[in-house]
Amino acid sequence: MKRTVTHLADGRELIYFDERDDASRDAVDQRELPPPPPASEMRHDPVLDEWVAIATHRQTRTYKPPSDECPLCPSTPRWPSEIPAPEYDVVVFENRFPSFSHRVGPAQDDVLPGLVPARGAAGRCEVVCFTSDHNASFSSLSKDRVRTVVEAWADRTADLATRDDVEQVFCFENRGEEIGVTLSHPHGQIYAYPFVTPRTRRMLDSARRYARGNLFADVLAAEQADGRRIVAENGLWTAFVPATARWPFEIHLYPRRQTPDIPSLTSAERDAFGPLYLEVLRRLDGMFGLPMPYIAAWHQAPVRVDRDLAYLHLQLFSTRRAPGKLKYLAGSESGMGVFVNDVRPEEAAEMLREVRL
């Protein structure tokens, strides 16, 4: 794989990950762009002990452009996009409308003195383009291309983890308008947070209280022994519907070996991930014969704390519960955080296994 670093017209970094060593990346971004925005504001909620980002500049971000004006497609003489090259394999670049950024201004005063401190939302947000084909999807990628994407995730996780203003790196993909996607080109994102996220803190707190070994490893072993919710597996990865699934169709992918993050995966584990993940995505799309909206979220260890407790895994879930029907977060889920699932996890796993590929 060839890695090439360049910069866009406004100074944002762009990185090509090419599958050919002879790929030429001399194209220059000719656009006239304003400077990137300063970092957003963060406010700490003392009741929930959570940071909230206030990113008002994101109101003007690109929203559902026509396909011939897609900012993630390769540039053409008529349409200069975010990617100057006329073609590419995998590309990562700084988000033009970031929620978190290293461009932090002067220190900010508390919003409520002694209760709600405010500070610049340091960190970084990146976009990961999986393919130059606007009409593709992750499930249509080749195994080799998925391997390149994994290398990009590993590269960015390792690089971002070296920054003083980053405490956790989150790689994810949102797919489908039902999820809220506003750019249909196949892509994911990477958030480098200046704090450990609430969900990760809660998971690691549970792992810390668990006295019989590693909590995540024991959950994986128990699901493998039970077998009813296994969707697919190979010698190095297991995909299963968790016994406590919150979403109608929710699948977790675990490496067989405990490891803290994507950079820690061996070459064999990186090779084995793609075929299994593609099978899972194609089973998901085959459920109702139409593309399933989903969120795919990598859970990695924080950069500096509790790395011994963490266990890298991918959580994939869809909001579609039946053809033409979506699961919305209603009163119990949104108001109290108590999920009510419409589909029994064992039945969801069986439905996924029965999809003809």
Binding-site positions for Zn(2+): 70, 73, 134, 185
Structure tokens at 308: 């011994």
* Cα–Cα distance for residue pair 81/70, rounded to 1 Å: 7
Per-position DSSP letters for 128-166, written without gaps between them: EE--S-TT--GGGS-HHHHHHHHHHHHHHHHHHTTSTT-
Structure tokens at 74: 């390769």
Residues comprising the binding site? 70, 73, 134, 185
Q: With both helix axes pointing from N to C terminus, report the angle between 267-286 and 143-160 in degrees, rounded to the nearest 10.
A: 120
Closest Cα partner for 18 from 39, 1, 6? 1
* Cα–Cα distance for residue pair 184/129, rounded to 1 Å: 11
Amino acid (1-letter code) at residue 284: L
**Is the CB of residue 230 less than 8 Å from the CB of residue 211?**
no
Q: Is the dihedral of CA 252, 257, 262, 267 positive or negative?
A: negative
Structure tokens at 82: 């975010």
Beta strand 313-318 pairing with 249-255: antiparallel
Per-position DSSP letters for 10-52, written without gaps between them: TS-EEEEEESSTT-----------PPPPPP-EEEEETTTTEEE
* Cα–Cα distance for residue pair 168/304, rounded to 1 Å: 8
Q: How far is CA 162 from CA 101, 194, 202, 266, in A?
A: 15, 12, 24, 20
* Cα–Cα distance for residue pair 170/197, rounded to 1 Å: 9
- 187 catalytic, yes or no? yes
The active-site residue, picked from 187, 252, 299, 313, is 187
Residues known to be catalytic: 187
